[in-house]
């Protein structure tokens, strides 16, 4: 982990390119540092000035050796020289605000590479370039040119967009939201979101980590590091750019179905990141996490003074995978005794329209006491007798007496509820206007809590595998100037990694084919072995269910004739003789290589249904946990088929999972394997294993 202690909490800060001119970045940043109440030493650096904003000016960073943090806001062309000066002066950390690097093209990218190289050489941490700076409200230090200092709080907010960052800081000032840290990533040339997430996970002032990201470049490192961070604190990510389509031509089913966004989804699932869809959700959840304990389970109790919003909230509870709590009989009994006769004493509890604060308090205390309730949601509508500020008071009182149970509030209203809302939010209780958003926040809390109680178990990949054999096959394929393997070659690769494949062998003559067929056992299938031919059946290159030596000989000759008639120029390697396995449930297991995250596995219904039904799931081979392998199978409708559909015996699910793990290791061990498709993989009854019938491998 990078040590960012003195980055966020420097003893001495220099602003290189500080300016006297209001409105200039070099002026705004210096002003922000001063006004943020920063207690350390501040040095403006500008060779042409003797004093700026009342502080004596230095000519260059060399005059203040060993500075913890230098903020650089000089034109791009000068940055490399300044960075080198910083390095020589023993500066620990730098923030490069200046733009004009990778984002403007090739030349800028070269400049950026150069400053990264300098940082490495001198052992400096760098944030940026092309960023807004950072804020730490606890130090306090506003080393950014964001126009306002955000309020102190427990949310670390990491943004890849500077403008989005400032917009959110501005929004926060009107919405009772505070931050521990704000980080503008800029071009992420050195320090990136992974470093800041790792750091914030250990920051005592931070309770929840929020990111707005447009890309993750170090996928494998992300999987390793962020998976650990989420065990310590919730990490919420709004990842934009989901519509950006992966335009690479795919040669496999898996490639056709997998997109870059699938890889991000898998990465977030495997690391325990909570992915949100909207900026609104990001902050709704952040507020819930910073103010509430984690629920013990997914059972929600609603207390409302109106039926309508109660039903709306109940719908949302079900839609978002939560459960309506079923009260203990004692709870129902007590509610019935103490509430008016017209109240509904089952969940959702309706304290009815004339409920005053005392009745809310009564109901809340009873309901939150119920061991079958994991989270409470109070809904308040402003009716004639309702006293929203009074209800807010009793909510805070009940909350204080039961700090261990999450309790969220929804005040549906505006003018008549504003005082109550203000009471709640200024006391640190988030308050939502519409019930669905409150329920969505509960769903986020619950999802994170359930993840925490399920410790991740990395797949060990501890099985014997004949790597040398695979290496030899791949080398021979490359020597043959091919990038796809023959069926007989993929079968050998499969066997080397313990993947059960239908026995097969390449025959060069009809006699050889007949001999092999006798060896493998009848019936057999014959398939033309010619890597250029994609649709073997269309050119008469396949014969199935041959059960005598004579038919095999004939079949061999016919196949060669057919193929030669259709495709004169196809190079024919012979005919593959494959023992025909008994039919099983048809599945697909595949792999494609994602640019950011490396090998990505696919599982689903196989056969012709792959493209029709697109019933598939994805996970990444790195950061692969046992629960991911299980979940991949369970997420699909294929699982219903495997469990035993319409009276069939269950299939050998452990063998399917084992095959996934073996494919994952094969992809990890051989980066030159770009894509794999096992389609179909036949799954047999429990205990009887699986069989890879057709397997395709493409290498680079």
Q: How many residues at the interface with a copy of itself, by CB under 8 A?
A: 88
Q: Considering beta carbons, is residue 71 or 501 the nearer one to a copy of itself?
A: 71
Residues 277-296 touching a copy of itself, rule: CB under 8 A, are 277-280
| Residue of 402, 626, 637, 688 that binds a copy of itself (CB under 8 A) | 637
Q: How far is the CB of 685 from a copy of itself (least distance, A)?
A: 18
**Distance (Å, rounded) from C-alpha 169 to C-alpha 152?**
11
**Distance (Å, rounded) from C-alpha 165 to C-alpha 193?**
14
Sign of the dihedral through C-alpha 149, 155, 159, 165: negative
49: contact with a copy of itself by CB under 8 A? no
170: contact with a copy of itself by CB under 8 A? yes
28: contact with a copy of itself by CB under 8 A? yes
Q: What share of the chain is helix, strand, coil (3-state, %, to 5)?
A: 40, 20, 35
Given strand 151-159, what is the order of strands in its sheet? Answer: 141-144, 133-136, 178-184, 151-159, 208-213, 235-239, 274-276
34: contact with a copy of itself by CB under 8 A? no
| Residue of 9, 60, 218, 240 that binds a copy of itself (CB under 8 A) | 240
Residues 417-476 touching a copy of itself, rule: CB under 8 A, are 417-418, 433-437
Residues 7-26 touching a copy of itself, rule: CB under 8 A, are 23
Closest to 461 measured CA to CA, from 652, 664, 259: 664
The answer, yes or no, to whether the previous bond of 348 is cis (omega within 30 of 0) is: yes
Residues 594-623 touching a copy of itself, rule: CB under 8 A, are 608, 611-613, 615
In the block, residue with structure tokens 């939201």: 177
Q: How far is the CB of 258 from a copy of itself (least distance, A)?
A: 10
Q: How far is the CB of 85 from a copy of itself (least distance, A)?
A: 27
| Residue of 173, 544, 595, 649 that binds a copy of itself (CB under 8 A) | 173
Q: Considering beta carbons, is residue 121 or 248 the nearer one to a copy of itself?
A: 248
As a dihedral over the C-alpha atoms of residue 203, residue 459, residue 490, residue 475, rounded to 10 degrees, the angle is 60
**Distance (Å, rounded) from C-alpha 401 to C-alpha 398?**
5
| Residue of 401, 548, 640, 700 that binds a copy of itself (CB under 8 A) | 640
Phi, psi of 587 (to 5 degrees): -125, 170
Q: How far is the CB of 248 from a copy of itself (least distance, A)?
A: 8
171: contact with a copy of itself by CB under 8 A? yes
249: contact with a copy of itself by CB under 8 A? yes
The answer, yes or no, to whether the previous bond of 129 is cis (omega within 30 of 0) is: yes
And the tokens for 308?
A: 């309508």
Q: How far is the CB of 160 from a copy of itself (least distance, A)?
A: 7
Q: How far is the CB of 666 from a copy of itself (least distance, A)?
A: 28
Q: How far is the CB of 170 from a copy of itself (least distance, A)?
A: 4
Please give the C-alpha separations between residue 513 and each of 474, 528, 576, in angstroms, as whole numbers: 24, 12, 8
151: contact with a copy of itself by CB under 8 A? no
Three-state SS string over 79-118 comes to HHHHHHHHHHCCCCEEEECCCCCHHHCHHHHHHHHHHHHH
Q: How far is the CB of 345 from a copy of itself (least distance, A)?
A: 11
Residues 59-78 touching a copy of itself, rule: CB under 8 A, are none
Element containing residue 392 per DSSP (H, E):
helix 388-401
And the tokens for 333?
A: 């009994």
Residues 299-338 touching a copy of itself, rule: CB under 8 A, are 305-312, 314-315, 317-319, 324
172: contact with a copy of itself by CB under 8 A? yes
| Residue of 46, 159, 343, 387 that binds a copy of itself (CB under 8 A) | 159
Q: Are strands 407-411 and 431-432 parallel, antiparallel or unpaired?
A: parallel
């Amino acid at each position: 982990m990078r040590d960012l202690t003195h980055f966020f909490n420097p003893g001495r800060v220099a602003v290189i390119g500080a300016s006297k001119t209001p409105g200039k970045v070099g002026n705004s940043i210096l002003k922000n540092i001063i006004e943020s109440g920063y207690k350390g030493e501040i040095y403006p650096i500008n060779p042409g000035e003797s004093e700026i904003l009342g502080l004596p000016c230095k000519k260059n960073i060399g005059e203040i050796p060993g500075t913890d943090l230098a903020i650089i806001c000089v034109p791009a062309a000068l940055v490399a020289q300044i960075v080198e000066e910083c390095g020589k002066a023993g500066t620990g950390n730098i923030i490069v605000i200046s733009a004009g690097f990778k984002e403007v093209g090739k030349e800028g990218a070269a400049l950026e590479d150069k400053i990264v190289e300098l940082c490495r050489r001198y052992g400096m941490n760098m944030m940026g370039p092309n960023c807004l700076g950072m804020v730490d409200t606890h130090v306090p230090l506003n080393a950014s040119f964001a126009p306002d200092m955000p309020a102190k709080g427990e949310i670390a907010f990491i943004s890849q967009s500077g403008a989005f960052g400032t917009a959110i800081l501005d929004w926060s000032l009107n919405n009772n939201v505070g931050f521990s840290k704000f980080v503008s990533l800029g071009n992420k040339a050195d320090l990136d979101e992974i470093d800041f997430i790792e750091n914030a996970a250990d920051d005592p002032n931070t309770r929840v980590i929020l990111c707005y990201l447009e890309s993750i470049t170090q996928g494998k490192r992300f999987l390793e590091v962020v998976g650990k961070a989420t065990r310590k604190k919730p990490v919420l990510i709004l990842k934009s750019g989901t519509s950006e389509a992966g335009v690479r031509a795919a040669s496999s089913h898996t490639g056709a179905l997998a997109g870059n966004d699938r890889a991000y989804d898998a990465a977030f699932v495997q690391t325990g990141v909570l992915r949100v869809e909207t900026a609104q959700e990001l902050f709704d959840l952040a507020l819930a996490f910073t103010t509430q304990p984690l629920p013990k389970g997914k059972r929600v109790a609603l207390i409302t003074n109106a039926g309508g919003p109660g039903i709306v909230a109940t719908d949302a509870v079900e839609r978002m995978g939560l459960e309506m709590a079923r009260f203990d009989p004692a709870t129902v009994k007590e509610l019935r005794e103490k509430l008016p006769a017209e109240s509904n004493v089952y969940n959702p509890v309706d304290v009815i329209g004339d409920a005053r604060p005392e009745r809310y308090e009564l109901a809340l205390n009873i309901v939150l006491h119920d061991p079958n309730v994991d989270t409470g949601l109070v809904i308040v509508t402003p009716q004639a007798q309702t006293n929203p500020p009074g209800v807010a008071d009793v909510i805070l009182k009940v909350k204080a007496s039961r700090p261990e149970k999450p309790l969220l509030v929804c005040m549906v209203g505006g003018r008549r509820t504003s005082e109550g809302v203000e009471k709640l939010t200024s006391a640190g209780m988030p308050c939502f206007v519409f019930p669905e958003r409150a329920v969505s926040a509960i769903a986020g809390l619950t999802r994170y809590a359930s993840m925490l109680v399920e410790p991740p178990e990395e797949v060990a990949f501890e099985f014997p595998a004949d790597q040398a054999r695979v290496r030899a096959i791949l080398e021979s394929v490359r020597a043959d100037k091919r990038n796809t393997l023959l069926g007989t070659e993929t079968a050998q690769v499969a066997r080397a990694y313990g993947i059960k494949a239908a026995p097969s062998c390449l025959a060069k003559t009809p006699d050889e084919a007949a001999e092999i067929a006798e060896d493998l056992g009848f019936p057999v299938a014959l398939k033309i072995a010619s890597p250029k031919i994609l649709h073997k059946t269309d050119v008469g290159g396949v014969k199935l269910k041959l059960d005598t030596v004579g038919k095999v000989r004939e079949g061999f000759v016919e196949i060669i004739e057919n193929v030669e008639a259709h495709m004169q120029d196809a190079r024919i390697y012979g005919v593959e003789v494959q023992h025909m396995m008994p039919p099983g449930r048809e599945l697909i297991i595949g792999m494609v290589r994602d640019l950011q995250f490396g090998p990505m596995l696919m599982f689903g219904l196989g056969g012709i249904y792959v493209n029709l039904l697109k019933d598939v799931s994805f996970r990444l081979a790195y950061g692969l946990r046992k629960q991911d392998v299980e979940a991949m199978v369970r997420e699909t409708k294929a699982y219903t088929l495997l469990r035993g559909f319409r009276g069939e015996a269950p299939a050998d699910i452990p063998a399917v999972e084992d095959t996934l793990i073996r494919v994952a290791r094969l992809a990890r061990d051989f980066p030159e394997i770009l894509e794999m498709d096992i389609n179909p993989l036949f799954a047999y009854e429990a205990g009887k294993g699986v069989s890879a019938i057709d397997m395709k491998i493409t290498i680079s």
